[in-house]
Amino acid sequence: MTQKILIIDASAVINDFSTKYSDYRLVTTTKVVKELKSRGAIEDLEERIPKPDLIKFVSDIDKDLSDKTSEADKELLALALEFRAPVVTDDYGIQNIATKLGVEFIPVLEEGITKVIEWEYYCSGCRRKAGKSGVCKVCGGRIKRRERK
Ligand SMILES: [Zn+2]
């Protein structure tokens, strides 16, 4: 049986991803391991050297986006392409390029990054939809808000 692979970004370790994914084979680059060691974060990760042609492929996509992705980020994405595995990251730059590459990514701190609440306003008396504040123009009831579904 082959174990499922995840590509691990430094931000994932810092945000304590490992409690969620203890059954996976965890792969990362030498740069990430070095960064983690310098921060005193220790995690049992498998180090891999990404293929140069895949790094170049990522760089070309990155140029099109005119984004400023670091070398370390490009290497991670190259590994994700090689292993056809998702990247665990909270780094917005990596997530952005991953989307362009068709690489799946898994945020650790999912809520707070992706969830944007939209409100709608309604009258607590007659239940009509209403403007932002004050009282209802129809019945004079108080205006309340709720999450738009
Ligand atoms: Zn009303």
For residue 115, the model assigns a pLDDT of: 47
* pLDDT tens profile 77-101: 999 999 999 999 988 888 888 988 9
Distance 125 CA to ligand 1 centre (A): 5
Helix or strand (DSSP H, E) at 84: none
Distance 78 CA to ligand 1 centre (A): 57
Residue type, 71: E
Domains of the chain: 5-112 (3.40.50.1010), 117-149 (2.20.28)
The answer on pLDDT for 52 being more than 90 is yes
Distance 143 CA to ligand 1 centre (A): 8
Surrounding ion ligand 1 within 5 Å at CB are 123, 125-126, 136, 138-139, 141
Q: Identify the CA nearest to 94 among candidates 60, 64, 71.
A: 71
* pLDDT tens profile 117-136: 567 889 999 999 888 778 89
- 15: which 2 tokens? 């945000």
Helix or strand (DSSP H, E) at 41: none
Residue type, 130: A
